[in-house]
Structure 1
């Protein structure tokens, strides 16, 4: 459970950053017309492209929608319409995510990966020019097989081409991340830790995930606070919270842009590369702002619950959590849980801190073999809050 930490200074933050538009680049002829097609025919639109001569090609899942050709021809460009592709653009979102993650896993979490649709195929780019060609072929076969096996998917059978490129994927930094203090704006005290930056599904707001018991309703204003560097501090907006047998997770909206990063130590952070639930017996780590360091232990069970006796004689039982042989301190609640191999690199988001085991009637955590921490599985936290954890290079 979360308790009040020692008082934390929450200095006023700087003025909100502004995203500035860079003028001077001409609008691509035909782009506005294609934009209208996407907006007006979302249940029909498959893909679009420009030919080498600058003409338009637009594809639809079924027959050509009435009025579509007139919109495109108003651009003054040549127009080719492809019909009956069998898929719409939104059908590509989940396979692209899955392919990127499958490629990343196939490479042993060793390389940055980009996955993107290319008309009626996918291109997976591995950022390592020196990757062995045999290894590259193996990954390509694995991904090709994965798409072919999705027989019920609109994109089943899409070819997957794997290629290499130099460089790394890095975020365009706003210097705002998960793993920071959540502060009671009335008292100035830190009371919980944020875990990962997330985005509401199918909408714009970004923010941070934390434990649901940190605030079950908007009873006091909450601030984001980074206790180092810029010491940035600003109010967050309460969005949703669950603290019940179904789970323990909350989401606070940020009025400012944030990075797909989290802190795993006092001032050290890493980009989130992958989001998955934990595996039994794997070693994982957690971080909290009271501990101000990370601790690690083995996952004891992936599906369990914790029950707490309350002072009024009732009890609270929380499900949707996994248990780990490591300690946690009060105020660490809501903090990130991640793979041990991701300390400083290749970060894999696994969950968020829910509760810990303490010496009876004290705030002293149990250490050693008897140490125990419970954390909400990250996929479950996403489901409870209607969010998706952001992965590098950004939301």
Structure 2
């Protein structure tokens, strides 16, 4: 419970009036955040925390970056809102910058208010483009809280919300907890692709509009796909005339050390698997103003040249959000922030987490990730790989907060997901705090 007047008032108002997401309300004890800068946040009592959650894995550029704040302020002095039917310079500039980073396989951007409605509209585009209905997505996935997006989601949040039609789930590759009894990443990829082919055949390929996958499933555990898997999914989509959608809401815009995760997963020859649609949000402006969108291939965009696209939002391409995108992407480019994420992941975070696992092998079952996108799979038994109990996660979270680190946990996993601006010294400090927390068990 905060002790300062402002902290106590913030806490009391929250508990009295705010209804929180994904929660039973009575037992909540929310942490009060008063401010932040870079990789750090603090409360009203002066307690400071190293933010290795990036809030919801979205503050890629760090807290309160002046370039993004200044861009929002400058746009507010010119035009604070505009209807989506009009053209606006900030919107055009934002779309141009996104397309430059996505590459030549894309032609236009449809702006939404966040990642969930980006997935909603990508699904709608795929259905209209193909004239088909079904959407295939992974069990280990999260695609958002809205109607079709939450049913495309594979985890527990789907089950109480299954009101949308036409959704089918399949298992993606996950070597550490394989559904396919695989003994190598190569075998995992081969068997997962065979499984997907059989699902497509069994559902009827002519009924399937889209395959929607997180390029690297994030909340499900930072599941970097084995070599060849994405290329195999692309080949299946092409074979059966299915639209391939990469959900890069969490993995995009620097998180993996490249502008997009699919670019980070190029094969040994440098070939990149390019989807038909990309959904994004989070890192495109680090959440300073709510925004998301769909990056659209020329073929799908052209399908709506003469045919009306039946979708839109009042705040699509909102000028304050567009200005924040321009400010964020320009700063990330000029300051080498994406390159920093790649280097710090390769040289500091990755080796540091492997060393941490070697020190605590009885609880850290696997380390996986790239860039500033990592997860530790925590186990009660390293032989059986049984996940740790929720009480262990609770103890770790309490300890890390007491040490001054704001963590991100999902199920039995500790996700190591700092902003892309994180320094080597800050990573070293976090690794020491993780070590102390595991030692306290």
TM-score with structure 1 setting the length? 0.26
Where is the helix percentage greater, Structure 1 or Structure 2? 2
- Select the structure of larger CA radius of gyration: 1
Where is the strand percentage greater, Structure 1 or Structure 2? 1
TM-score with structure 2 setting the length? 0.24
